[in-house]
Amino acid sequence: MKPAPSFRRSEPDARRQSLIEACARVLAKAGATGASVRAIATEAGVSPGLVGHYFDGVDALVAATYHHVDGKVAAALDAAVLAAGPAPRARLEAFVTASFAPPIADPQLLATWIAFWSLVTARPDIARQHDEQYAGYRARLEALLRNCGLADSALRIAAISVTALVDGLWLELCLSPACFSAKEAGTIARRHLDALTSPAG
Amino acid sequence: MKPAPSFRRSEPDARRQSLIEACARVLAKAGATGASVRAIATEAGVSPGLVGHYFDGVDALVAATYHHVDGKVAAALDAAVLAAGPAPRARLEAFVTASFAPPIADPQLLATWIAFWSLVTARPDIARQHDEQYAGYRARLEALLRNCGLADSALRIAAISVTALVDGLWLELCLSPACFSAKEAGTIARRHLDALTSPAG
DNA sequence: TTGCCTGTTGGACGATCGTACAACAACGGC
DNA sequence: GCCGTTGTTGTACGATCGTCCAACAGGCAA
């Protein structure tokens, strides 16, 4: 009889992906402080040395994880918009309220995100990643707002305000879920969109 | 001739305060990852052993720093409200827009705050501190909103929405100051208050 | 089956972490 | 001036950190 293989080989991309997802789980569970090479390797079920084989140090792994998680969120938002149909206002609402439902409204995702924020101060490359990603987020929001008839002159401020409100609601919804519900967050956000799209001036 | 004293004694409270402020500076500069006992002690200009003398480990020091920074923010908000005079609407606006001016709108303060958030997941005591502090923040906001004539039934949701918007604006204002100005943040917040206090429909 | 390639392991290495503690020295009381 | 108190120092200790690399072994070609 053959002894069970002590490990399996994987496709390089699959192994990289596995390490990235393990890194995200560790960041969510233990924060930036606990995201050590050994903890990530254990979470992924591999030996510590493998991290160095696929990434130039743990910093590069964290940066890759940031990029991956950002892509996951963007995909979830796009899917929500696509599922909303062609009506501009429905698409806008879908984009906004998707942040209050899985997989975005997830305490683990917030914990991962906070770990990234905690690195912005000390890591210029992470800071740049953050700026680019937020600029992209606001750009997509501006496009959705424009389709709802918002004047070009008001677009920038409107996108900033909606982004801030959604971020704040998402943050507190994840940090203390008992305080208010996802449904209430959606109501608040929709009311804000109403005030923006029908100026009572 | 006498040799210069190699160190000075301090009042226990003053030394504790000095360590707390040094901890806040280190958290702002290096994030939660870099907040080691030695880094904090060096920042405070004392030897590493002194931290253990005043606090039961570095975790207790971080918790104390959280409490201290929270108190500082609350004091700044109260001062802004007090300086706004007796008019309810002016007091509400002062409370809200104070978050976009020094000393609250400070990237270093945000970095400190993010370091605390990054500990919420792993540290139940920090999570409890966060819940209590946010409940207090919303309670003060509800009182200010009530004085502006808001119905009791709408108070809770209104306070949640204002808190979320202000937090989001504060977050992004500190993370990427080049994106929009403090004045614009104030305009956005005031417009939101308008929509809340004069329901159009 | 045999042998090569290389993904993978597991431990060594120096640095740094949090903590504990004996020795030192500043300061108030005598 | 001297002494006791105690705030403060500096270091030792074990644990854990990131990194590195020689050795092992799974999987494929021949």
- Residue B61 domain flag: yes
- For B72-84, the pLDDT digits (tens) are 999 999 999 999 9
> Averaged over B145-162, what is the pLDDT?
96
- For B88-121, the pLDDT digits (tens) are 999 999 999 999 999 999 988 988 888 888 888 7
Tell me the C-alpha distance between B12 and A125, whole Å: 41
**3-state SS, one letter per residue, for A15-58:** HHHHHHHHHHHHHHHHCHHHCCHHHHHHHHCCCCHHHHHHCCCH
> Averaged over B154-176, what is the pLDDT?
95
Nearest residue, CA→C1' of C27: B9
The number of angstroms, rounded, from the C-alpha of A83 to the middle of its chain's C-alpha atoms is 19
Burial of A56 (0-12, 13-18, 19+ CB in 10 A): exposed
- Residue A39 domain flag: yes
Strand C within 7 A of B27 CB = no
Q: How confident is the model at residue B201 (pLDDT cuts 50, 70, 90)?
A: very low
Domain that holds residue B166: 12-197
In this predicted structure, what is the pLDDT of residue A201? 40
- For B43-60, the pLDDT digits (tens) are 999 999 999 999 998 989
- For A55-72, the pLDDT digits (tens) are 998 889 999 999 999 999
User: Is B33–A32 a contact, with Cβ atoms under 8 angstroms apart?
Assistant: yes
Query: Of the candidates B165, B156, B157, B159, which has an alpha carbon nearest to the alpha carbon of residue B188?
Result: B165
- Residue B4 domain flag: no
User: Is it the case that residue A14 has pLDDT exceeding 60?
Assistant: yes
| Residue from B37, B117, B138, B171 to probe the interface with A (highest A Cβ count within 10 Å) | B117
- For A148-198, the pLDDT digits (tens) are 999 999 999 999 999 999 999 999 999 888 899 999 999 999 999 999 987
Higher pLDDT, A200 or A131: A131
CA B143, B144, B146, B147 dihedral sign is positive
For the beta carbon of residue B120, count every other beta carbon within 10 angstroms. 23
In this predicted structure, what is the pLDDT of residue B136? 92
Minimal Cβ distance to A157: which of B32, B188, B200: B188
The residue to which tokens 């020091």 are assigned: B61
Q: CB of A201 within 8 Å of any CB in chain B? A: no
A30: nearest CA partner in chain B: B122
CA B134, B140, B144, B145 dihedral sign is positive
Tokens representing B150 are 């808001």
- Residue B168 domain flag: yes
Q: How confident is the model at residue B177 (pLDDT cuts 50, 70, 90)?
A: confident
Burial of B41 (0-12, 13-18, 19+ CB in 10 A): buried
In this predicted structure, what is the pLDDT of residue A200? 52
Strand D within 7 A of A86 CB = no
How many domains is chain B partitioned into structurally? Answer: 1
In this predicted structure, what is the pLDDT of residue A40? 98
Average pLDDT over chain B, rounded to an integer: 91
For the beta carbon of residue A1, count every other beta carbon within 10 angstroms. 3
Tell me the C-alpha distance between B142 and A179, whole Å: 14
| Residue from B129, B161, B198 to probe the interface with A (highest A Cβ count within 10 Å) | B161
- Residue B184 domain flag: yes
User: Is it the case that residue A22 has pLDDT exceeding 90?
Assistant: yes
User: Is it the case that residue A3 has pLDDT exceeding 70?
Assistant: no
Report yes or no: B189 and B169 within 8 Å, Cβ to Cβ. yes
In this predicted structure, what is the pLDDT of residue B6? 80
Tell me the C-alpha distance between B57 and B100, whole Å: 34
Residue A184 carries which side chain, given as an amino acid letter?
E
Average pLDDT over chain A, rounded to an integer: 91
Looking at the complex, report in whole angstroms how far the Cα of residue B44 sits from the nearest Cα belonging to chain A: 20
Q: CB of B38 within 8 Å of any CB in chain A? A: no
Q: CB of A191 within 8 Å of any CB in chain B? A: yes
- For residue A43, the domain's CATH number is 1.10.357.10
Q: E-assigned strands of chain B?
A: none
Phi, psi of B34 (to 5 degrees): -95, 5
The residue to which tokens 């309220």 are assigned: A97
Report yes or no: B140 and B95 within 8 Å, Cβ to Cβ. yes
- Cα dihedral A31, A36, A40, A41 in deg (nearest 10): -170
Burial of A53 (0-12, 13-18, 19+ CB in 10 A): exposed
- Residue B103 domain flag: yes
